[in-house]
A and B are shown apart, each in its own frame.
Chain A
């Protein structure tokens, strides 16, 4: 794999809501032990004010909360996100599963429900909530999809196509827990629902990205992060970013790896 390189963004903040609670501080030392036999650790349905959110699916609400958490960490006024200057890049492997299933099985076969079956529903609700009208791409897959989204955010920032970028990932499993149990060879344990977000700004470092075939298992390859978080597919690289920043380094020098269904992506991020 020959990597493509681009100026690395500055990581302004990360946000996280997971089945373990809000923020990195809620993560256990050992997700496997903390799950205590649960196959899925649910993040529940966040309560958000506003009539618009009554019909939104919980994965949409999780996405909104993760962005709010990142803004809070950064001390970044939400009004500044509005407009063409903010890019929104979204990644998920699973967060359309619940709505698709409900629609297929008839529980949600209504006019209001169908639009929420699209993977684009989560970033749509985030864009509406924060008034984001900038560059907009949705990547499907596990951790490599998020690494692709981070790379793409870097290219958008480097080319001045936006002033800042939000990279968001959401994964939900609870409504399809029986299906994941049937396909348990595909995924790690425990499956931990999460919504994670990174707020990026133009930076002066270097970021390289490559993706190719992998013979490793289909699940995320994220070592210590997965030990603390559990399996959270596309959310994992963003949690790893947040943990690296929380570790106190003034600038990042980080190699993120993600594996998903025969693909392995590597992002080497050197912040200046």
Chain B
């Protein structure tokens, strides 16, 4: 890749069940905190599994600045509030017409649809039910007047959004992009995963032989992206770089991943190729690692195929047990975690991985954070509908 094409990740902002800014998020990851609890915001008595990574109170909420009561929009704006605070506040120091917003989500504003169908007749409820509504609310709050895109590659959305934002910047369609992912917990998604029996009554145990399913979570993760030369001109520090990305379809099943992980493999190879990175250069893998029997086995097999002999030497983790599966936010949070691992010189451990599965025999980081400074990281994501995406990141 030409030096001029490198895309800098300048800074980030997060709202998660384990922390509502980068410092709190990172501390919770390395201390092994869990954000899983019984859901309190809506009725769950009829659900098999009433637990998830719920954000009990939004710390950074600014109701005086936010006109909507859409929870997804509020999570996004809270994450953006941290992001802009790292770069001097609003408005961003760029021509508003050149600021893009690119967001990934699995659920968009579906809770607004639930409320509208339950009888809340306020017209804004219906408009809010369109899945692109929260991105528009964030764009408005930021004062962004460039492209406002919503991507929905299910639980890979947060990775696809970062990749697309990078392409907008490379292509010159924008100068600054606020990109990332979000999703909230609501009756709709809890009921959906409940009927699918995907949720575990145990803890989430990625790559553990006892793993029995996932738990959901809600979060928003955002990054500020620029072309490296623009970031360098401003002279500020940045978190890292997005070196490569790719997405691919499984073309296999509406809800389950391809048993051979074909789409995931194509994505990883595509991202590494775009980054110009060989398997020997990968120093850390942030796996999707949902804790479902099938996902973790498939991911392990794909990593072995792609990384070859190197696979056993690369530390791998999953943070799904900390936060729950935060769907559209997951891949963005994992990308941020990769860059924070480089900055802090530690890789967070995979919470609740206590009994390794012989089918998942890579170097999974468990029992505690590992001192290690991974410059080049690979992050993988899978989602409903055969969506796959991979990112290659470099710490700065």
Q: A residues touching B (Cβ–Cβ < 8 Å)?
A: 1-6, 82, 84, 88, 93-94, 96-97, 100-101, 103-105, 109-111, 114-121, 123-125, 127-128, 130-141, 145, 148, 151-152, 155, 161, 179, 182-183, 185-186, 209-213, 261-263, 265
Residue of B nearest to A52 (CB): B254
- Chain B 110-149, CB within 8 Å of chain A: the 1/0 string? 1001101100010100110111100010000000011111
**Closest CB of chain B to A209's CB: distance in Å?**
6
Bound complex: CA A135 to CA B193 (Å) = 27
In the complex with contacts A133-B248, A179-B126, A104-B153 CB distance below 8 A: no
Which residues of the partner chain B approach A151 to less than 8 Å between Cβ atoms? 171, 173
Bound complex: CA A97 to CA B133 (Å) = 14
Bound complex: CA A94 to CA B138 (Å) = 21
- Can you give 14 contacting A-B residue pairs, CB < 8 Å? A4-B174, A96-B131, A104-B117, A120-B387, A124-B384, A128-B252, A128-B254, A133-B250, A133-B263, A136-B153, A139-B151, A140-B131, A140-B151, A148-B149
Does the CB pair B145–A212 fall under 8 Å?
yes
Residues of A contacting B: mostly? mixed
Residue of B nearest to A94 (CB): B130
- Residue from B108, B145, B149, B266 having most chain A Cβ neighbours under 10 A: B149
Q: Is B191 located at the chain interface by the 8 A CB criterion?
A: yes
Bound complex: CA A49 to CA B253 (Å) = 18
Does the CB pair B385–A124 fall under 8 Å?
yes
- Residue from B117, B126, B251, B384 having most chain A Cβ neighbours under 10 A: B251
**Closest CB of chain B to A175's CB: distance in Å?**
12
Q: Is B172 located at the chain interface by the 8 A CB criterion?
A: yes
Known: A118-B106, A136-B387. 18 other contacts (CB 8 A): A1-B146, A2-B98, A84-B266, A104-B114, A111-B197, A124-B387, A134-B248, A135-B248, A136-B386, A137-B247, A139-B149, A140-B131, A145-B150, A155-B167, A182-B121, A211-B173, A213-B97, A263-B147
Which residues of the partner chain A approach B116 to less than 8 Å between Cβ atoms? 179
**Closest CB of chain A to B72's CB: distance in Å?**
13
Which residues of the partner chain A approach B247 to less than 8 Å between Cβ atoms? 135-137
Which residues of the partner chain B approach A211 to less than 8 Å between Cβ atoms? 100, 146-149, 173
In-complex Cβ contact of A125 among B146, B173, B197, B254 (8 A): B254
Which residues of the partner chain A approach B117 to less than 8 Å between Cβ atoms? 101, 104-105
In the complex with contacts A4-B173, A133-B266, A117-B254 CB distance below 8 A: no
Residue of A nearest to B266 (CB): A84
Bound complex: CA A84 to CA B246 (Å) = 12
Total number of B residues with any Cβ neighbor in A under 8 Å: 64
**Closest CB of chain B to A145's CB: distance in Å?**
7
**Closest CB of chain B to A127's CB: distance in Å?**
4
In the complex with contacts A124-B385, A135-B248, A5-B171 CB distance below 8 A: yes
Which residues of the partner chain B approach A114 to less than 8 Å between Cβ atoms? 191-193, 195-196, 255
Residue of A nearest to B123 (CB): A183
Which residues of the partner chain A approach B16 to less than 8 Å between Cβ atoms? none
**Closest CB of chain A to B138's CB: distance in Å?**
13
B194-208 residues at the A interface, CB under 8 angstroms: 195-197
Bound complex: CA A145 to CA B123 (Å) = 23
**Closest CB of chain B to A89's CB: distance in Å?**
10
Bound complex: CA A251 to CA B192 (Å) = 48
Bound complex: CA A230 to CA B73 (Å) = 31
Bound complex: CA A139 to CA B130 (Å) = 12
Which residues of the partner chain A approach B270 to less than 8 Å between Cβ atoms? 135, 161
Bound complex: CA A193 to CA B160 (Å) = 28
Q: Is B92 located at the chain interface by the 8 A CB criterion?
A: no
Residue of B nearest to A263 (CB): B148
Does the CB pair A120–B113 fall under 8 Å?
no
Does the CB pair B123–A118 fall under 8 Å?
no
Which residues of the partner chain B approach A96 to less than 8 Å between Cβ atoms? 131
Does the CB pair B132–A136 fall under 8 Å?
no
- Chain B 307-340, CB within 8 Å of chain A: the 1/0 string? 0000000000000000000000000000000000
Which residues of the partner chain A approach B262 to less than 8 Å between Cβ atoms? 133
In-complex Cβ contact of A120 among B147, B173, B197, B383 (8 A): B383
**Closest CB of chain A to B383's CB: distance in Å?**
7
Which residues of the partner chain A approach B173 to less than 8 Å between Cβ atoms? 2-4, 151, 209-211
**Closest CB of chain A to B303's CB: distance in Å?**
18
In-complex Cβ contact of B249 among A109, A117, A133 (8 A): A133
In the complex with contacts A103-B192, A104-B188, A152-B167, A118-B384 CB distance below 8 A: yes
Q: Is B306 located at the chain interface by the 8 A CB criterion?
A: no
Bound complex: CA A25 to CA B167 (Å) = 37
Which residues of the partner chain A approach B365 to less than 8 Å between Cβ atoms? none
In-complex Cβ contact of A128 among B171, B251, B266 (8 A): B251
Q: Is B168 located at the chain interface by the 8 A CB criterion?
A: yes
Which residues of the partner chain A approach B172 to less than 8 Å between Cβ atoms? 2-5
- Residue from B150, B160, B195, B385 having most chain A Cβ neighbours under 10 A: B385
Which residues of the partner chain B approach A131 to less than 8 Å between Cβ atoms? 251
Does the CB pair A137–B150 fall under 8 Å?
no
Bound complex: CA A139 to CA B249 (Å) = 15
**Closest CB of chain B to A190's CB: distance in Å?**
19
Does the CB pair B248–A84 fall under 8 Å?
yes
**Closest CB of chain A to B86's CB: distance in Å?**
25
Which residues of the partner chain B approach A111 to less than 8 Å between Cβ atoms? 195-197
Q: Is B360 located at the chain interface by the 8 A CB criterion?
A: no
**Closest CB of chain B to A141's CB: distance in Å?**
5
**Closest CB of chain B to A25's CB: distance in Å?**
31
**Closest CB of chain B to A174's CB: distance in Å?**
16
Does the CB pair B191–A109 fall under 8 Å?
yes
Does the CB pair B108–A161 fall under 8 Å?
no
Does the CB pair B196–A120 fall under 8 Å?
no
Does the CB pair B148–A123 fall under 8 Å?
no
Does the CB pair B149–A141 fall under 8 Å?
yes
Which residues of the partner chain A approach B380 to less than 8 Å between Cβ atoms? none
